[in-house]
Structure 1
Amino acid sequence: MDESTTQVYGSVQALTQSSDTLFLLLGAIMVFLMHAGFAFLEVGTVRHKNQVNALVKILSDFGVSTIAYFFFGYWVAYGHSFFVDAPNLSAGNGYELVKFFFLLTFAAAIPAIVSGGIAERARFYPILVGTFFIVGLVYPLFEGMIWNGNFGLQAWFETTFGTGFHDFAGSVVVHGVGGWIALVAVIFLGMRNGRIRAGKHTNFAPSNIPFLALGAWILCVGWFGFNVMSAQSINGISGLVAMNSLMAMAGGILAAMVLGKNDPGFIHNGPLAGLVAVCAGSDLMHPIGALVTGVVAAAVFVWLFTFMQNKTKIDDVLGVWPLHGVCGAWGGVAAGIFGQTTLGGMGGVSLIVQTLGTLLGITIAVLGSILVYGTIHKLSGLRLSQEEEYNGADLSIHKISSTNED
């Protein structure tokens, strides 16, 4: 190879590296913006006296998640630490650093999901301690198994069943795990005061539908970074992922509109249910398969959230367990159904493996969260006092209200 050819090759390689770095950075920024969506979805759903807490909690969770993932979580999942000098860290246009940022936004989605379930009665600092251990250990344990081949799990799947567990953008790894972790935290906290009156369930109306809708819109837009940019390189980008995300979202909207009887809360959560479910197989499914996946996910969410709120003592404020936990699990299984070539998919996926991997993710999430939140519950308690809850988390924790009214 002569000198001019070498220079051209080097220039092309540098351009490719820098393009991939920029591509992933834009994806990280889009997913980071989704945390504002989580925040406003919660702000619009909780009562006025808990709106400040919703905003502060999710931003604080992100800060704690960054430290936990930087020092522990990323190492647990990928065996990579940052204890080297800056020249080594910035090699290859700093692609690995941007990859950390991108995957951090996924990891930090776990406490953002949990936040919606435990709203209005959770203590502040104990929950942040829980966030540290969830993001630093529990979540990356399963993340590393699926996305980095840790503990030989994927190799065993491939040897035994001919294919590994497929979760392109985190239906199970992120949403399923987050939703089942949230369920455990919700159960430890118990029901909000006032939910049972005269022996009957009472549901608190959303405080601000426009804020709720804004949160849903931000999440929907950011989700295309969440899904499409999970390719992590320009060369791997797929229009099929974008189309499938769009179709699942549309299916979720329409199903929630019909089954939710025009309720704005359901209509704005319906697309999120569809997007949660399509993450795993968005690179495999035919768009019609993605549409069906979104319809089923929204139907499951509407039915299960309604049942849970009116018939059980599981007080999941935003319905994050049915939305993320159950719809995420459905997404893992759906990838094994609609990813098959017989249904127009790309193939290379096994329904048995998808089911086993999904069940493993749920198991790790439940056991890990029982350990983390159960320990905190015993040592310091997770819940506000009855008086603090009555006054609201805004005044009790942050000493300020969301309005300037006397």
Structure 2
Amino acid sequence: MPKTKKVAAMVTFLAGLGLSGTAMAADGDAAGELASSSNTLFILLGAVMILAMHGGFAFLEVGSVRRKNQVNALNKIICEWGFSTIVYFLIGYPLARGVSLLVPVEELAADHGFEYVKFFLLLGFAACIPAIISGGVAERAKFWTNSVAGAIFVGLVYPLIEGTTWGQFSNCLGGADGWMANTFGAPFHDFAGSVVVHATGGWLALPAIMLLGPRLKRYETNSIKVSSIPFLALGSWILIVGWFGFNVMSAGNLSNVSGLVAINSLMAMVGGTIAAMAISKNDAGFVHNGALAGLVAVCAGSDLYHPVCAAVVGAFAGGIFVFMFENETEKWRIDDVLGVWPLHGICGAWGGIAAGIFGQKALGGMGGVSFFSQLIVTLVVIVLCLAASTLVYGLMKVTVGIRLSAHEELRGSDLSVHMIEANPEEAM
């Protein structure tokens, strides 16, 4: 039958069923609406899971500091989320994405408000920066000066990195026709933020930690003990669960969701846990942080790896964390309370570079990555973060100060800053 006759027969058949062109168009519109609302819900769920991760940051710090600084840990994380929201809304998101959120609401309310939940999701990534730094400078940093520094990073430094890797300027690094792709055969690839988020936070934290100096009596006694392994473990578990929103929802929409990202996140977490357990001789703090080290490292290539390679990447990260944290705090005497530089800074950098190795097809990966693109961008991010943090914290140190007084530190930031203890009834 000629093609025109086939089409005519189909129209006649559908008309007989009562499916007019208008009805079919309506069905198509309904399908489009369902896809749009599904994408909005998908991203919203990811945003909420990442918001929950910040509770994990809080309890990880609560368990790692002394009892006299637990209220401070809790207040810092939620207040920094608030400051980050305002700064990222007004400055960071427009800078990184080229979208102003101050336009009339009807301009961004289309597609079930997808642009708004996208902001919510990406805010969760941006707010990780001060949350990461918080753990390194715990127990002796001034609340307000550290909050201002975090706001500067969320408003200017992080959006610059986000914009040139994921955002409106990403063609120079991430585009198929960008300089990286033309020079090294593939663009820079960071699916869920090993470099863009974690390495950025970790390397911004290092100058702050060093400029603050160690806590009082940190190296005059045997050590300063953590206050609560259960709280530390709770924080780790909250972060682990939320991480699957962090990684999987980085797909950006429901049609791009991949079970490969989920299984690779799982395998890297397991690899980091087991490696940290073995190397540290089953130390509880290292075990729970080893899981996080594996998840930090897998973010960049979670959409590329074979699951076996994801486990290897995570295991290397778990080992790196134990080795570097012990050397950092004891041998080099860098008092990084939660080990955020090795956990996020070094393991994040490892994750960015590892994507260029284990993402190759020769090792069972999806391909489309370049070792040199991964290495160069990772190093550029490290240098930028070190320079920015040294400038911000250095200027604040010589002007308004960044550290509590000796009396305030010995008394504890809970009473010195917040005027209340973590368990007020015990003082009655």
- Aligned-partner Cα distance in 2 for 1:16–1:160: 38
1:266 pairs with 2:289:
no
Query: Which residue pairs with 1:158 in the alignment?
Result: 181
Q: Are the counterparts in 2 of residues 144 and 150 from structure 1 also a CA contact under 8 Å?
A: yes
Which of 166, 175, 180 aligns to 2:198? It is 175
Structure 1 residue runs without a partner (length 5+)? none
Structure 2 residue runs without a partner (length 5+)? 1-19
Query: Which residue pairs with 1:184 in the alignment?
Result: 207
Query: Which residue pairs with 1:225 in the alignment?
Result: 245
1:66 pairs with 2:89:
no
- Aligned-partner Cα distance in 1 for 2:125–2:199: 12
Which of 122, 133, 141 aligns to 2:160? It is 141
Question: What's the offset of the Cα at 1:202?
Answer: 3.6
The one-letter code matched in structure 1 to 2:203 is W
Q: Are the counterparts in 1 of residues 97 and 167 from structure 2 also a CA contact under 8 Å?
A: yes
* 1:187-211: CA deviation from partner (whole Å, max 9, x where unpaired): 11111010122xxx74211100100
* 1:17-41: CA deviation from partner (whole Å, max 9, x where unpaired): 1000000000000010000000000
1:324 pairs with 2:347:
no
Query: Which residue pairs with 1:355 in the alignment?
Result: 375
- Aligned-partner Cα distance in 1 for 2:103–2:311: 46
Secondary structure of 2:23's partner? helix
The one-letter code matched in structure 1 to 2:79 is S
Query: Which residue pairs with 1:288 in the alignment?
Result: 308
Identity percentage of aligned residues: 57
Residue correspondence of structure 1 range 243-282 to structure 2 within 5 A: 243-282=263-302
1:94 pairs with 2:117:
no
- Aligned-partner Cα distance in 2 for 1:377–1:97: 37
Q: Are the counterparts in 2 of residues 194 and 202 from structure 1 also a CA contact under 8 Å?
A: no
Q: Are the counterparts in 1 of residues 294 and 315 from structure 2 also a CA contact under 8 Å?
A: yes
Q: Which moved more, 1:361-370 or 1:134-143?
A: 361-370
The TM-score normalised by the length of structure 1 is 0.97
* 1:172-222: CA deviation from partner (whole Å, max 9, x where unpaired): 00000000001111111111010122xxx7421110010000000000000
Query: Which residue pairs with 1:40 in the alignment?
Result: 59
Q: Which moved more, 1:213-222 or 1:83-92?
A: 83-92
Secondary structure of 2:420's partner? coil
Question: What's the offset of the Cα at 1:244?
Answer: 0.3
Q: Are the counterparts in 1 of residues 52 and 242 from structure 2 also a CA contact under 8 Å?
A: yes
Question: What's the offset of the Cα at 1:246?
Answer: 0.4
1:386 pairs with 2:406:
yes
Which of 93, 107, 131 aligns to 2:150? It is 131
Query: Which residue pairs with 1:214 in the alignment?
Result: 234
* 1:249-297: CA deviation from partner (whole Å, max 9, x where unpaired): 0001100111011110001101000000000000000001100000000
Aligned length: 403
- Aligned-partner Cα distance in 1 for 2:334–2:65: 16
- Aligned-partner Cα distance in 2 for 1:304–1:22: 40
Measured on the aligned residues, the alpha-carbon RMSD in Å equals 1.1
- Aligned-partner Cα distance in 1 for 2:246–2:222: 36
Query: Which residue pairs with 2:99 in the alignment?
Result: 80
Which of 56, 70, 78 aligns to 2:75? It is 56
- Aligned-partner Cα distance in 2 for 1:159–1:267: 42
* 1:316-335: CA deviation from partner (whole Å, max 9, x where unpaired): 00000000000000000110
- Aligned-partner Cα distance in 1 for 2:87–2:280: 39
The one-letter code matched in structure 1 to 2:261 is V
Q: Are the counterparts in 1 of residues 98 and 168 from structure 2 also a CA contact under 8 Å?
A: no
Query: Which residue pairs with 2:15 in the alignment?
Result: none
1:105 pairs with 2:130:
no
Which of 255, 279, 284 aligns to 1:235? It is 255
Residue correspondence of structure 1 range 197-212 to structure 2 within 5 A: 197=220, 202-212=222-232
The one-letter code matched in structure 2 to 1:347 is G
- Aligned-partner Cα distance in 2 for 1:375–1:23: 42
> Which structure has the larger Rg over C-alpha atoms?
2
- Aligned-partner Cα distance in 1 for 2:275–2:230: 21
